[in-house]
Amino acid sequence: MEQNFALTWQLSEIHGWGLVGVHTALYLLDQGRPPLLLERPLLTTLRPENRAKLTPLLAGHERITVIADRVPDTVVVVKGWTLLHALANGFNEGPTSVRFRGSRNVGVIAFEDSRFDAATVERARSYDRIVVHSTYNRDLLLDQGLPEVGCAFQGVDPGELPALPPTGRFGDRFVIFSGGKLEFRKGQDIVLAAFRRFHARHPDALLVTAWHNYWPHTSATIAESPLTPAPPMIGENGKLRIVEWAMAHGVPPEGFVDMGFIARNQIAAILADCHAAVFPNRCEGATNLVAMEAMACGVPVVLSANTGHLDLIREGNCLPLRTQTPVIDPIGARRGWGESAVDELVERLEQLYSDRETARACAERGRDFVCGERSWRNFAQSFIGATV
């Protein structure tokens, strides 16, 4: 019997959770099974074609909101529906999940915090099923004796991310891209340390970054690294002062470009001018959407061989950072995390710089892999299947 699904998080195209919701909803609509949205979608962030398809779901959202408003301070049970609950580290629920329950309740999570005290395990067991986005997360849960765990790998939209010809905006520079919200887990400190050495050898190198995020205070965790004494300051406009931070780490002004917030319709054109994309991340609970987008755009990618990244690494489709040492873990929250070696990242950049043919072949294999196996359509189909 087919299930009806309700989503407890906001649909958008500005972060990973939002994209998961958008493409799950689009798939269910195509199947003639429109989902119930318990959070109002952020329609202004959607591409016009997606906005047109998803706008009709507002009617259902407004109806359930009216019903819930009639019974404040009461858990609303949506009978006959399977609720997909977006969970944070520790299997903690957001306010919408606290307010609503379905006939079945499926927890959806991509976690980096590996602490499993009794309360965490109890929260995890309260769901009929858990769905994760990496074998790293799945195996950690299986180790805790949680058998009802499904796995669905996140994806890309190949039509949105074509391999475009270079625009020449950066001239004849060797352009290295680094993206992802700035924090200790993402390893931007490793990027800066490696780039500083690489640029000293190759003054034509240029580091292009997209490190901003909508929660700038989370960047403070970067100060946990021995490679950086302090996180970037937050400016009066509420944005991270990325350029100043990079300069303080010895990166010359002529070697660095901060792209700020990149709209989805800008991603492919920016990546078209890049010769490498680097992701020495210490941990990924899922598989790293930004890295997958770079692969889809035909950029050779350097990936740390740890946690969720392992689900992206195939023979010849990227340059893995194999040297992974344990990350300092004072409270037991970083099982499986890996510290990439700055020297190895410099070596990988040297490979891409000196052997452009090999770099091109790597880029082609990476694009074939993500566009063939890791499309959002494939994700949504496997995601819905994993909830059973």
Q: Which residues pair with 278 in a beta bridge?
A: 302
Mean pLDDT within 117-136: 97
Mean pLDDT within 230-259: 93
Strand ranges (DSSP E) for 311-371?
319-321, 324-325, 339-340
d(CA 278, CA 300): 9
Distance of CA 169 to the CA centre of its chain: 27
d(CA 129, CA 138): 12
Mean pLDDT within 108-136: 97
**What are the start and end residues of each CATH 3.40.50.2000 domain in the chain?**
174-373
Give the mean pLDDT of the chain: 96
Write out the two tokens for 131. Answer: 């769905």
* CATH number for the segment(s) 4-151: 3.40.50
Q: Is 127 helix (H, G, I), strand (E, B) or coil?
A: coil
The answer for 155, left when phi > 0, alpha when psi is -120 to 50, beta otherwise, is beta
Say how many residues make up the chain. 388
Does the pLDDT of residue 285 top 60, yes or no?
A: yes
Contact 21, 9 (CB under 8 A): yes
Does the pLDDT of residue 12 top 60, yes or no?
A: yes
Q: Which residues contact 160 (CB under 8 A, 6 or more apart)?
A: 47, 264, 267, 268
The answer for 260, left when phi > 0, alpha when psi is -120 to 50, beta otherwise, is left
Residue 69 carries which DSSP code?
H
pLDDT level of residue 291 (50, 70, 90 thresholds): very high
pLDDT at 86: 98
Distance of CA 202 to the CA centre of its chain: 30
Lowest mean pLDDT among 50-59, 179-188, 257-266, 372-381: 257-266
Q: Is 205 helix (H, G, I), strand (E, B) or coil?
A: strand
pLDDT at 17: 96
pTM listed for this prediction: 0.95
pLDDT level of residue 46 (50, 70, 90 thresholds): very high
pLDDT at 1: 55
Distance of CA 89 to the CA centre of its chain: 15
What is the chain's Cα-based Rg?
21
pLDDT level of residue 214 (50, 70, 90 thresholds): confident
Instruction: Please state which architecture CATH assigns to domain 174-373.
Output: 3-Layer(aba) Sandwich (3.40)
Does the pLDDT of residue 351 top 70, yes or no?
A: yes
pLDDT at 34: 97
Q: Is 73 helix (H, G, I), strand (E, B) or coil?
A: coil
Q: Are strands 319-321 and 129-132 parallel, antiparallel or unpaired?
A: unpaired
Mean pLDDT within 40-44: 97
Kindly tell me the sign of the dihedral angle through the C-alpha atoms of 123, 127, 129, 134: negative
pLDDT level of residue 372 (50, 70, 90 thresholds): very high
Contact 303, 321 (CB under 8 A): yes
